[in-house]
Amino acid sequence: MNNNILASIAIGSIACGLSACNGTSNTEKDTARINFIETKFIDSSIKPSDDFYRYVNGKWLDTAKIPPDKTAIGGFNQLHDDTQLKLKDLLENAEKNSGKTGSIAQKVGDFYASGMDTATIDKRGYDPVKPILAKADAIKDLPSLLHYVAEEDKNGDRSIIGFGVGPDQKNSSINIAGLGQTGIGLPDRDYYFKNDPATVAIQNAYKKYLSTLFTLSGIDSATAAKNTDIIYNIEKQIASSHKTRVQMRDVSGNYNKVSVESIIKKQPNIGWAAYFNAIDAKVDSVDMGQPAYYDKLNQLLVSVPLNDWKIYLKANVLSNYAGLLSKPFRDAAFDYGKILSGQKVQKQRWEQMAGSVNGHLGEALGQLYIEKYFPPEAKKRIDELVSNLTKAFSNRIQKLDWMSDSTKAIAQDKLKAIVRNIGYPSKWRDYSKVNVDKATYFENVVSANKNDFDFQLSHLGKPVDKTLWYMTPPTINAYYDPTMNVIVFPAGILQYPFFDKDADDAVNYGGIGMVIGHEMTHGFDDQGSQYDKDGNIHNWWTKDDKEKFDAKVNQIQSLYSTFTMLDSLHVNGQLTTGENMADFGGVAIAYDAFKMTKQGNDTTKIDGFTPDQRFFISLAQIWRGKQTDERTRQLINLDPHSPAQWRVLGPLMNFDPFYKAFNVQPGDKMYREEKDRIRIW
């Protein structure tokens, strides 16, 4: 998979019950869909110019409850759960009418059935991983350790080598091998070094999880505790070599193309030649994104006793596969995860399996989904929206007062070169080599993982295929890939509340229009702007224009760093820079495109609101959401997206048409002096 995808539109975890998201009945939801703007949630006691997010969503925020099996509820989550119910229907039908062996329906239906058969899964205990644990026990030296790692990589049991395939960022027409930092069990390197109460609780929960996995596999509690200390110590040393999430956003700093010959000499303990041979990857050069990690790994492979590495690898097996094993293992994984996320109880099994099928046979399931739920006219309407937003973005570029004509011309060329992929891929993945049996869920997943690895490997050294997708059609999300200069909008997100073919333009442009503009802007955010129209890292800016652009980047970072959650938890302005810039661009481009429509030039009110007001209300409505405090803390640490309320308030407090639409005046909380308003694209 291409690890260079800069951006997706969604925030954090997408999980909630549909009725719980709105707190409404099906009849009320149908009515809301007809009206499109859910005015019943507007809190008129709040001035829109003080807190527009709460003005639009206040009554919902005050009454909506997060179900115990969810970590968040809201617009994205509502649509996710609606789509999950559709997938459930498709999967149950496929299970009952699976058709001939090897067909899409058979593979999808039997895969789903195998995961739903928890009686068989529970009866097997941890038998499926016993042969893998035995292989780890049989490791006798460093070469056999790395051979084990390579063999397990092919089956999806990743450990200390972060191998992948994607476009060469300085020769983007060809796919090369990439190596990224990996090897830790906690969500991020910083979790090993912070000592605040919330982080310490997560550290302790992780250690308990590791110990539980060992005891479930027949090891006494004292030895399990000792093993846990060994693993945590190894991971903490590994974590010290990892770049931070902010450092990982440095495009040039994370491109390090080196010859295999040179890393064989520099990191002899890793045994690179044997590793690449074992995974059947014919390479003479690689992009080693974070060399410091592999330098550290090279040192640790000899400084850490071999037996400790065997313990580490066995824990990796148990942790990676815990969700596929019997109930005690699944429960242990959930108990650890709930400390991270705040989720109280596990999702229903069918929902877990819908996610599993989508993750492992996504384009097979996607074909069934598209056939039933995505009519051709929807794709045509979205294509028209993309064309209008492209025109609006082009106009904005041409009118920029801070960019020279020469840089504008190059920016226009890049914009015109963006490839748009809408709804579903033009060609579907082949899953014929995935073996699926109703009685063996574990083996089905491993077979799908192996197929994914082989699929990646099949592109190594080959020309880049811009028709490939890295999201499945039912996914509620979208993305921009700078190395391919493509934007992708899966069918899943092309639904209400983001888009409806019967909605007025204000609603659609404020919803999916903002999403489209957001993804387009990623080609010109602080990271995307470092790539040319072909997807190569290349500085196409004049020195003066780049300095002006960087000053605007700094303004964005400074503004968002002042925003807080949970009273004192600050948004990381540097981590969220790209997404914040894309939100700024998404709002501006969508609004300009809306003004090209008939309604955009009208003043006729609907539900008491002008077209412009409906545009902004639709925008705030799609970001409606609540999440657990634990999830909020986790996302502040990990997520490059700002929290939902700031994705609305940040851009709008800097956008002149919003001031006009809602009469924002000095003294209002969202008011910023005109000279202080940040304007970029």
Does the structure show a pLDDT above 80 at 11? no
What mean pLDDT is predicted for residues 497-509? 93
For the beta carbon of residue 556, count every other beta carbon within 10 angstroms.
24
Question: Is residue 72 domain-shared with residue 138, that is, in the same domain?
Answer: no
Q: Which SS3 state, helix, strand or coil, does residue 130 take? A: helix
Model confidence band, residue 375 (pLDDT cutoffs 50, 70, 90): confident
Please tell me the predicted confidence (pLDDT) of residue 142.
Answer: 97
What mean pLDDT is predicted for residues 453-466? 97
Question: Is residue 297 domain-shared with residue 403, that is, in the same domain?
Answer: no
Does the structure show a pLDDT above 70 at 20? no
Does the structure show a pLDDT above 60 at 23? no
d(CA 471, CA 349): 23
Question: Is residue 468 domain-shared with residue 556, that is, in the same domain?
Answer: yes
Q: Which SS3 state, helix, strand or coil, does residue 243 take? A: coil
d(CA 273, CA 275): 5
Q: Where are the beta strands (DSSP E) in 150-256?
A: 162-168, 171-180
For the beta carbon of residue 142, count every other beta carbon within 10 angstroms.
16
Query: Residue with structure tokens 């999967």?
Result: 91
Please tell me the predicted confidence (pLDDT) of residue 33.
Answer: 53
Cα 155 to Cα 320, 434, 609: the distances in Å are 11, 12, 56
**pTM given for the model:** 0.93
- Whether residue 556 lies inside any domain: the answer is yes
Query: Residue with structure tokens 């082949």?
Result: 430
Please tell me the predicted confidence (pLDDT) of residue 5.
Answer: 54
pLDDT tens-digit series, residues 111-126: 999 999 999 999 999 9
Cis peptide before 497 (omega within 30 of 0): yes
Question: Is residue 133 domain-shared with residue 219, that is, in the same domain?
Answer: yes
- Whether residue 116 lies inside any domain: the answer is no
- Whether residue 339 lies inside any domain: the answer is no
Model confidence band, residue 547 (pLDDT cutoffs 50, 70, 90): very high
Please give the backbone phi and psi of residue 104, each rounded to the nearest 5 degrees, phi first: -60, -45
Across 453-463, b (16+ Cβ under 10 Å) vs e yields bebbbebbeee
CA atoms within 13 A on the CB side of 138: 10
Question: Is residue 79 domain-shared with residue 176, that is, in the same domain?
Answer: no
If residue 558 lies in a helix (H) or strand (E), which one and from where to where? helix 543-561
pLDDT tens-digit series, residues 227-282: 999 999 999 999 999 999 999 999 999 999 999 999 999 999 999 999 999 999 99
Does the structure show a pLDDT above 80 at 509? yes
681 vs 56, more confident: 56
Q: Which SS3 state, helix, strand or coil, does residue 412 take? A: helix
**Contact indicator for 317, 446 with CB cutoff of 8 Å:** no
Does the structure show a pLDDT above 80 at 26? no
Question: Is residue 240 domain-shared with residue 388, that is, in the same domain?
Answer: no
Q: Report how far Cα 233 is from the mean position of its chain's Cα atoms.
A: 29
d(CA 513, CA 491): 15
**Contact indicator for 423, 374 with CB cutoff of 8 Å:** yes
Please tell me the predicted confidence (pLDDT) of residue 198.
Answer: 95
- Residue 373 backbone class (left: φ over 0; alpha: ψ -120 to 50; beta: rest): alpha
Q: What is the mean pLDDT of the chain?
A: 94
Q: Report how far Cα 134 is from the mean position of its chain's Cα atoms.
A: 35
What mean pLDDT is predicted for residues 27-49? 79
Least confident of 101-105, 142-146, 404-408, 621-625: 101-105
DSSP string, 469-526: -SS-TT-S--EEETTTTEEEEEGGGSSTTT--TTS-HHHHHHTHHHHHHHHHHHTTST
Q: Is the dihedral of CA 146, 147, 152, 153 positive or negative?
A: positive
d(CA 157, CA 149): 8
Residue range(s) defining the domain that contains residue 591: 7-86+375-423+463-676
Encoded tokens for 463:
């020309």
- Whether residue 99 lies inside any domain: the answer is no
DSSP string, 6-42: -EES--S-----HHHHHT--HHHHHHHHHHSS-GGG-
- Residue 338 backbone class (left: φ over 0; alpha: ψ -120 to 50; beta: rest): alpha
Question: Is residue 261 domain-shared with residue 407, that is, in the same domain?
Answer: no
Does the structure show a pLDDT above 60 at 47? yes
In the listed set 301, 324, 347, which residue is the last one of a domain according to the structure? 324
- Whether residue 410 lies inside any domain: the answer is yes
Please tell me the predicted confidence (pLDDT) of residue 81.
Answer: 93
Residue 237: which of 324, 328, 309, 317 has the closest Cα? 309
DSSP string, 274-324: HHHHHTT---SEEEES-HHHHHHHHHHHHHS-HHHHHHHHHHHHHHHHGGG
Question: Is residue 248 domain-shared with residue 385, that is, in the same domain?
Answer: no
Model confidence band, residue 536 (pLDDT cutoffs 50, 70, 90): very high
Question: Is residue 81 domain-shared with residue 138, that is, in the same domain?
Answer: no
Please tell me the predicted confidence (pLDDT) of residue 478.
Answer: 96
Residue 394, domain CATH:
3.40.390.10
d(CA 201, CA 223): 22
Please tell me the predicted confidence (pLDDT) of residue 167.
Answer: 98
Question: Is residue 78 domain-shared with residue 161, that is, in the same domain?
Answer: no
Does the structure show a pLDDT above 80 at 484? yes
What mean pLDDT is predicted for residues 86-100? 89
Q: Which SS3 state, helix, strand or coil, does residue 420 take? A: strand
Angle formed by the axes of helices 611-622 and 577-594, nearest 10°? 150
What mean pLDDT is predicted for residues 4-31? 42
Query: Residue with structure tokens 């404020």?
Result: 510
Residue 180, domain CATH:
1.10.1380.10
Across 590-628, b (16+ Cβ under 10 Å) vs e yields bbbbbbebebbeeeeebeebbbbbbbbbbbbbbbbbbbb
- Whether residue 672 lies inside any domain: the answer is yes
In the listed set 285, 305, 324, which residue is the last one of a domain according to the structure? 324
What mean pLDDT is predicted for residues 221-228? 98
Does the structure show a pLDDT above 70 at 12? no
| Percent above pLDDT 90 for the chain | 91
Please tell me the predicted confidence (pLDDT) of residue 16.
Answer: 27
Does the structure show a pLDDT above 50 at 576? yes
Please tell me the predicted confidence (pLDDT) of residue 416.
Answer: 98
Q: Which amino acid is at 518?
A: H
- Whether residue 110 lies inside any domain: the answer is no
Beta bridge pairs of residue 72: 627
DSSP string, 324-368: GS-HHHHHHHHHHHHHHH---SPPPHHHHHHHHHHHHSHHHHHHH
Model confidence band, residue 4 (pLDDT cutoffs 50, 70, 90): low
| Percent above pLDDT 70 for the chain | 95
pLDDT tens-digit series, residues 163-172: 999 999 999 9
Please tell me the predicted confidence (pLDDT) of residue 381.
Answer: 86
What mean pLDDT is predicted for residues 309-326? 98
Please tell me the predicted confidence (pLDDT) of residue 531.
Answer: 98
Question: Is residue 196 domain-shared with residue 266, that is, in the same domain?
Answer: yes
Q: Which amino acid is at 609?
A: F
Model confidence band, residue 377 (pLDDT cutoffs 50, 70, 90): confident
pLDDT tens-digit series, residues 645-672: 999 999 999 999 999 999 999 999 999 9
Question: Is residue 645 domain-shared with residue 510, that is, in the same domain?
Answer: yes
- Whether residue 340 lies inside any domain: the answer is no
Model confidence band, residue 24 (pLDDT cutoffs 50, 70, 90): very low
For the beta carbon of residue 298, count every other beta carbon within 10 angstroms.
18
What mean pLDDT is predicted for residues 594-607? 96
In the listed set 291, 324, 357, which residue is the last one of a domain according to the structure? 324
Number of domains in the chain: 2
